[in-house]
Amino acid sequence: MASPKRKVVMIEGDGIGPEVCEAVRTVLAATDAPIEWVMAEAGLGALERTGTPLPDATVALLKEHGVGIKGPTMTPTGEGHRSVNVRLREELGLFAGVRPVRTIEGVHHPLAGLDRKVDLVVIRENLEDLYVGFEHDGRDHPQHIAWGIPNDAKIALKVITPERTRNIVHFAFLYSRSHGRRKVTCVHKANILKQTDGMFLRIFREIAEMCPDIVADDFIVDAAAMRLVRNPEQFDVLVCPNLYGDILSDLCAALVGGLGVVPGANIGHKCALFEAVHGTAPDIAGQSKANPTALLLSACMMLDHLAETKVADRLERSIVEQIQFGASTPDIGGSSTTMQVAEAIAHQYRVLAEHEDRKE
């Protein structure tokens, strides 16, 4: 008896978003995963059509169905509307950013030839730190002059709370345990930021003591960045405040070939949103050059979240095998179009499923 279909919200986004989302729909159709797509919109296109980059209807659909997948959305730099990604995390309580990063054979990367493999997960607190967006003009708060801050300065507040720190640290240890990981590393700057990062580190150490089955250690963020480049094998799961997690996850992506091959998820207590972590790439939009790998791997994470573990595992193996067989886009050394990659992965999934089902 077939499983009942689960409604999943899809946000295509901007730039190459519609192309990589079409690839996801094509591949998942081949898996027969019990998914019914519910289309929604967000980003620059939504702003032009509706007057807002994040329509209330989109948020309502995500709250109703509890799971979604999205393509990249355009965020203006220095002016304009606030990041749709940040707003979605806030509106939906998506406190944990999860980014698995691992070396894929066949993808060129900076560590090639050095016999080094990356297989780690960056877990980022999503809802606070500098991303709360509490910024103001020094002229509006002249008391800062007493601290040696000139009144023409621009000021941003870094906010770290005990509750959200505990949420993300607990999540990191539970994730490690459920995914067969053995070590959690806290990344911080507690030597300088003794109140904010100092509290983050203290809470991490308290929770680590309650999880003796998981090895725990910590590094100052600049030292962690250096160690990631020199010896990424020493890391397993990293748990970070918002800003450091944002930066280090991109650094880790560069170690395995770029953002085009790294998936991402934002997880909350009531909702989960899976997304490619790359940008909208407007320079190649509509040219069939977009790499769908990151969003397809994000779809694997989504399937695992929906307890479709067998489908998720088969799909991930199909994606990796097709890259090794040469079905890849120009950004990672191939010559295939977006949909050629999708169709090759769909075919490989069918072959793999038929072979394994016959053995069962």
The reply to whether 246 belongs to the active site is: yes
- Of 174, 244, 247, 251, nearest to 214 (Cα)? 174
The reply to whether 331 belongs to the active site is: no
The reply to whether 189 belongs to the active site is: yes
**CA–CA separation, 356 and 358 (whole Å):** 5
Query: Where do the H-state alpha helices sit in 51-195?
Result: 56-65, 84-92, 162-178
**CA–CA separation, 9 and 69 (whole Å):** 6
Cα 114 to chain centroid distance, Å, stands at 27
Which entry of 189, 289, 331, 349 is annotated as an active-site residue? 189
DSSP character at residue 233: G
Which entry of 56, 137, 217, 222 is annotated as an active-site residue? 222
Task: With beta carbons less than 8 A apart as the criterion, state whether 336 and 327 touch.
Answer: yes
Which entry of 14, 70, 129, 131 is annotated as an active-site residue? 131
CB neighbour list of residue 207: distance below 8 Å, 6 or more residues apart: 166, 169, 170, 173
Q: Residue 129 has which token pair?
A: 């730190």
Which entry of 14, 129, 218, 246 is annotated as an active-site residue? 246
In this structure, are strands 135-137 and 154-156 parallel, antiparallel, or unpaired? Answer: antiparallel
**Residue 21: CA count within 13 A, CB half-sphere:** 27
The reply to whether 56 belongs to the active site is: no
Task: With beta carbons less than 8 A apart as the criterion, state whether 105 and 75 touch.
Answer: no
**CA–CA separation, 223 and 257 (whole Å):** 22
- Of 285, 181, 282, nearest to 236 (Cα)? 181
Report the catalytic residues. Answer: 131, 189, 222, 246
